[in-house]
């Protein structure tokens, strides 16, 4: 996620357990419920989410859209650099 502004959060442990990853997904799910409402701000993304404790991979929050952005898109928690 190079070149993104506000990528690193401060004051949070970057290493995430599966339970902590679930907590990270909850606000993304709530955001996804508002995407089509017109009140959604995609400038929040991309963001650093942490490191997966099980494999050491970097995770990031990304907004991916198709056709028209943002009405037709969703926020995801993804591993960085995985195709």
Query: pLDDT value at position 83?
Result: 66
Task: Give the rounded distance of the alpha carbon of 23 from its chain centre.
Answer: 12
Nearest-angstrom CA–CA distance, 37 and 53 = 35
Give me the domain span that covers residue 21: 15-79
In a domain, 3, yes or no: no
pLDDT at residue 7 in the model: 44
- Is the pLDDT at 3 greater than 50? The verdict is no
Which of the pair, 26 or 10, is modelled with greater confidence? 26
pLDDT at residue 76 above 90? yes
Taking the C-alpha atoms of residue 48 and residue 5, their distance in angstroms, rounded to an integer, is 10
Give the chain's domain count: 1
14 within 8 A of 51, measured Cβ to Cβ: yes
Strand 73-79 and strand 58-65: the pairing is: antiparallel
């Amino acid at each position: 996620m190079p070149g993104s502004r506000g990528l690193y959060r401060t004051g949070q442990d970057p290493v995430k357990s599966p339970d902590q990853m679930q907590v990270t997904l909850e606000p993304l799910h709530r955001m996804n419920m508002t995407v089509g409402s017109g009140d959604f701000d995609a400038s929040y993304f991309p963001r650093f989410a942490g490191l997966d404790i099980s494999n050491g991979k970097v995770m990031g929050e990304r907004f991916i859209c198709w056709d028209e952005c943002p009405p037709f898109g969703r926020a995801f928690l993804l591993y960085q650099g995985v195709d």
